[in-house]
Structure 1
Amino acid sequence: MNQDLSKLGWMGDNQNGGGKRKSDGEYTTDGVRKSDDVENELSKSINSTEEIPPPMFDIISAVSVLEDENLERKYVLYTVRVRHGSARADLHTTTIDRRYTDFLTLYETLKKDGSEQLSSYTFPRKAIVGNFSQRLINERSKKFEQLLELISKDSKLRSSIALLNFLQDKELKIALELCGQQRYDIAEPILKNSFRLLNKVYTDRSAAVLLSLCRLVGCYAVTPGTVNGSAERWATLALHRYEGVSDADLLMLYGPLLETCLKLWERNGKDWQLIKERLADMKRRGVCMPTKTLLEAVNDLDINYRSLPSNYFNA
């Protein structure tokens, strides 16, 4: 596959995890223009064969939120910031908002799976009174940070489905509902933030990251009236990430990805001939051509992955 992908504009060096595009303008190892601030944080790619440093989690705020105006129920919303564990700069802040019950579900799921790494950790108990005192909120914030730090430093815990669910499921549910309503322009920034976040936690070619990236590209492709370089660059990044992918299930997305790129290239007036030739070559070799959109294919594969052992998804 590497040789064929290089014909789409890449001169790759898989040992170094990168290359330059054969066209004018300087590109990073992940195929993103260095002058483009939108995707610039991807400029230093971590190859999936390299060991990545643990990501860093910190809670930057905690606020009381009214859940039910009639019953006046409140809860505390904790904003978790996720940062690269390496020295590379985080040009785009990625955060998620989580409640006490979300942290509790994460902890209990990992304990149920027999994670001995959490044996020394004590989860903060529920309080009958004083739930919203600043002292209690601060104490819980520190304990939640400790939990996430323990998880991030252990490769087994970091590759668990429990952590992935914690990091993306709330936002993914909203984005999928928006896509179902064809409100793709609203779903795009949610999916983009989710990809950037997962890209700081897992390797570039892990299933979690590739599914998230392909879902974003698929959303761009079906957004009415989308004609911009950003969509093309995300698609180019997805093509580049597929260099070196050997997972048979992930390769099932390659056909739908090529079809999507073909549509984006045609829409943006770019040369699509090489992509079309690649698709024709796959057809001649008896490769089953996609009958679903990239978004549909990603969602189907996501369901399949979640039925596998917890450490398989992000291996």
Structure 2
Amino acid sequence: MGTEAEEPHQDHPGRNTRVGSGGARHAQERIVFEVMNARTVKEGHSKYVVYQVHVVKSPGLDTSPAFIEKRYSQFDKLNQCLRKRFPHLLESVAFPKKTLTGNFKSQTIAERSRAFEQYLQHLHSIPQIATCHEFLDFFYLEDIRKGYAMIRAGLYKEAIPSLRNALHLQEKLLGETHDLVLQTHCAIVVAYEALDELWHAQTYSETALNCLKGYLHHGFLVPLLQTHIRLCWRLGKDKKGWEAILHEVAAKGIDVNSGPTLKDIVMNKH
């Protein structure tokens, strides 16, 4: 699951316009990182430990924590990237050192598990780091890329698990109305509609549209509305309210007839 970024880009707050109140999430809700499991993996002559990290929002209230699985080398790469970019901010942030022996001992694994929890918690407490692309991509970029690659290959069923896991992580870390969350919702809609799983597609498209209330000029709005109206029609659901919004958009002088489809937009992402 999600690892480091390959292409340079801006941090998420600058790269994508927030379409709702998700931007306030960092100040309002507490995120906790818990290493819930660690297992030793053997691949040929290679042997390493994989740590499963749960991402929990509002501990005690969150009944569906998201999770990632990472090995020490991936944590280490994140640490090196962040220290290079934010050396002054990470002066007091501890990171478990590499060891030549004893990496697979229960005590070492337990100590590293706690250290990784504290490390991620410390990073997330620093706003500049909690919102930077290196930190966020560590959690969900691999799943996002895999999901979009599957869509482009026409493997819609295979795309959905990766996209749903990425969405779950994005909602925890970014808030439920962030533009990146909207984009992932739209990718899931495209995949479900291609599979003719209309109920799932309509559920995700309605959630995405609720993020766009009041944003008539957003690039996703027209194709998303058109998709949602079509899904409602196929499911026999009331679509008049959504058609009224589309007419309102058209009345603002926005082209609702010759723009790209939702699938076209999704296919050009990532």
Corresponding residue number in structure 2 for 1:139 = 111
SS of residue paired to 1:151: helix
| Higher alpha-carbon deviation: 116-125 or 286-295 | 286-295
Could you tell me how far apart the structure 1 residues matched to 2:133 and 2:116 are? 18
Cα separation, partners in 2 of 1:255 and 1:63, compared to 1, 3 Å: same
Could you tell me how far apart the structure 2 residues matched to 1:148 and 1:281 are? 45
Could you tell me how far apart the structure 2 residues matched to 1:295 and 1:147 are? 39
1:255 pairs with 2:222? yes
1:236 pairs with 2:206? yes
Q: Deviations over 1:184-242 (max 9, x none)?
A: 123223222221222112223223322222322232232x22132x4322221111111
Cα separation, partners in 2 of 1:47 and 1:95, compared to 1, 3 Å: closer
Q: Supply the AA of the counterpart residue of 1:59.
A: V
Q: Deviations over 1:158-193 (max 9, x none)?
A: 111012211101212222232223221232232222
CA contact (8 A) 1:77 1:98 kept: yes
Shift of 1:288: 3.6
Cα separation, partners in 2 of 1:65 and 1:292, compared to 1, 3 Å: farther
Shift of 1:296: 4.1
SS of residue paired to 1:95: strand
1:271 pairs with 2:238? yes
CA contact (8 A) 1:218 1:293 kept: no
SS of residue paired to 1:98: strand
Cα separation, partners in 2 of 1:299 and 1:233, compared to 1, 3 Å: same
Could you tell me how far apart the structure 2 residues matched to 1:263 and 1:105 are? 45
Could you tell me how far apart the structure 1 residues matched to 2:207 and 2:106 are? 44
| Higher alpha-carbon deviation: 150-159 or 267-276 | 267-276
Corresponding residue number in structure 1 for 2:14 = none
Q: Unaligned 5+ residue runs, structure 1?
A: 1-44, 304-315
1:191 pairs with 2:163? yes
Q: Unaligned 5+ residue runs, structure 2?
A: 1-19
Cα separation, partners in 2 of 1:252 and 1:227, compared to 1, 3 Å: closer
Shift of 1:108: 1.7
Corresponding residue number in structure 2 for 1:225 = 196
1:54 pairs with 2:30? yes
TM-score under structure 1 length normalisation: 0.70
Cα separation, partners in 2 of 1:293 and 1:76, compared to 1, 3 Å: farther
Highest relative contact order (Cα 8 Å, sep 6+), 1 or 2?
2
CA contact (8 A) 1:258 1:279 kept: yes
Corresponding residue number in structure 1 for 2:63 = 91
CA contact (8 A) 1:65 1:76 kept: yes
Percent identical pairs in the alignment equals: 27
Could you tell me how far apart the structure 1 residues matched to 2:203 and 2:236 are? 14
1:64 pairs with 2:37? no
SS of residue paired to 1:256: helix
CA contact (8 A) 2:68 2:139 kept: yes
Cα separation, partners in 2 of 1:106 and 1:207, compared to 1, 3 Å: farther
Corresponding residue number in structure 2 for 1:175 = 147
Corresponding residue number in structure 1 for 2:262 = 294
Q: Supply the AA of the counterpart residue of 1:58.
A: E
Could you tell me how far apart the structure 1 residues matched to 2:87 and 2:223 are? 38
Shift of 1:286: 2.9
Shift of 1:81: 0.3
Q: Supply the AA of the counterpart residue of 1:259.
A: Q
CA contact (8 A) 1:82 1:95 kept: yes
